[in-house]
Amino acid sequence: MDTEELSEVLQAADLSFYQADAYVTLLELGTASATEVARSSEVPDARIYDVLRDLDELGYVELYEQDTFQARATDPETVVSNLTQRANRFESAAEEITDRYEQPTLDSHTVSIVKRFDTVLEAARMFVADADTQIHATLTPDQFEELRDDLAEAKGRGVTVNVTLLYRGDDQELDAPDFQGVCTEVHRRPRPSPFIVTSDLQRTAFASNPAAIEDYGMILENRSFTYVFFWHFLIFMWLPWPVTFSDEPGGTPTRYADVRQFLLEYIQPIREGARVSVEIEGRDTENDQDVTISGVVVDTEYVSEAAAALDSELLELAGTATIVVDDGTERHTVGGWSATFEDVEAKQITVTGLEAAGSESE
């Protein structure tokens, strides 16, 4: 770096042109009188004393009297430390600018791919806060602690909160008191596994598992993609793993965002003759208008060739799943997302009552 370039860098560090010029000159001269500094630099004689006093206050030079007004550069350690700190701040600012440029605004994109887990966690917290019906999540114990208060608030609003906890050998064990008032049901699964939070079958926050080659996250405000993550959660993260906590099993009201998950939990009682009362909020498939119906589930219907071939209850639900609700006047067929042949596409199913076969209402 030549003298001119060094002077320009010092000016970028908030020295004036004259201050930078005088300081570089003193570095070359060692100790010099004010007159000698002015003669060897471009600082005017009339300005040299003020410039040197300013440099003294900033810690760049030391002034003293010895026959004449003398100046010398101070130990560069302080100056170098200051410049290093400023360089680090510029470098951090450059990284932050890059991150913010690569991080799309959440409210303006349907699908966003991000690099930082903090961004995914922030989105998950927002999705939980906005949930009305049901939350599905796969979380490590530490991630559960991060979202505990948000999940508890959602549970307090009547949202169904289903969590699969992801453990490894050195993780702290959580038990029933940790989940009470926070979760509806908790399953347990070994790690590594991805971080997933879905809200109302509308939005998803996802981060790849620690064993993945590429570290990235996805934020989706899209029902089609979220439905894929919901099925991933259901098949791989929920159904195969043991229940470690269940909040008031069989209690009502309980909300569902998908007819299939409702059926997974209530198909057996319905087949045994239980009286399951529900309120359905959804869309009338004939006129595309919002509709709410209340009544009793009196029948279920499935169309699934895979289930017939493999004798699988889960695959049975992978086809067309329909419930029939009797409101006391007429019967309505109710399907799940994108229902076409049923009377109603269910957006929210609330179980309002459960009466086992041959018993009084609970």
Domains of the chain: 3-77 (1.10.10.10), 106-246 (3.30.870.10), 254-355 (2.30.30.690)
Q: Which tokens go with 75?
A: 């130990």
According to DSSP, the β-strands at 31-33 and 320-326 are: unpaired
Please tell me whether residue 36 adopts helix, strand or coil conformation. helix
- Most confidently modeled range among 105-114, 241-250, 316-325: 241-250
Q: Return the pLDDT at 251.
A: 58
Please tell me whether residue 75 adopts helix, strand or coil conformation. coil
d(CA 108, CA 345): 27
Q: Return the pLDDT at 264.
A: 78
Q: Which tokens go with 21?
A: 């010029």
Q: Return the pLDDT at 356.
A: 82
Please state the rounded mean pLDDT for residues 190-213. Answer: 84
Strand partners, 32: 71
d(CA 151, CA 95): 33
Is 346 a residue whose pLDDT tops 50?
yes
Q: Return the pLDDT at 64.
A: 82
- Helix crossing, 17-29 with 48-58: angle to 10°? 80
Q: Tokens 């570095």 — which residue?
A: 27
Q: How confident is the model at residue 92 (pLDDT cuts 50, 70, 90)?
A: confident
Please state the rounded mean pLDDT for residues 38-53. Answer: 89
Q: Return the pLDDT at 235.
A: 83
Is 306 a residue whose pLDDT tops 50?
no
Q: How confident is the model at residue 357 (pLDDT cuts 50, 70, 90)?
A: confident
The mean of the pLDDT values for the chain is 83
d(CA 11, CA 276): 77
Q: Return the pLDDT at 7.
A: 81
d(CA 155, CA 159): 5
Q: Which tokens go with 178?
A: 């940790």
**226: which residues sit within 8 A by CB, 6+ positions away?**
198, 201, 202, 203, 204, 220
Q: Taking Cα atoms as reference points, which of 179, 182, 188, 178 lies closest to residue 238?
A: 188
Q: Which tokens go with 211?
A: 């064993």
Is 325 a residue whose pLDDT tops 60?
yes
Q: Return the pLDDT at 110.
A: 81
Query: Is the separation of the CB atoms in 197 and 137 below 8 Å?
Result: yes
Q: Taking Cα atoms as reference points, which of 192, 196, 190 lies closest to residue 162?
A: 196
Q: How confident is the model at residue 188 (pLDDT cuts 50, 70, 90)?
A: very high
pTM: 0.57
Q: What angle do CA 289, 290, 292 make, to 5 degrees?
A: 135
- Neighbouring CB atoms inside 10 A of 155's CB total 21
Is 103 a residue whose pLDDT tops 60?
no
Q: Which tokens go with 255?
A: 């909300």
Query: Is the separation of the CB atoms in 147 and 137 below 8 Å?
Result: yes
Query: Is the separation of the CB atoms in 21 and 41 below 8 Å?
Result: yes
Q: What angle do CA 238, 242, 248 make, to 5 degrees?
A: 85
User: Quick check: bond before 104 cis, omega within 30?
Assistant: no
Output phi, psi for 79, to 5 deg. Answer: -65, -45
CA 335 centroid distance within chain: 30
Q: Return the pLDDT at 321.
A: 80
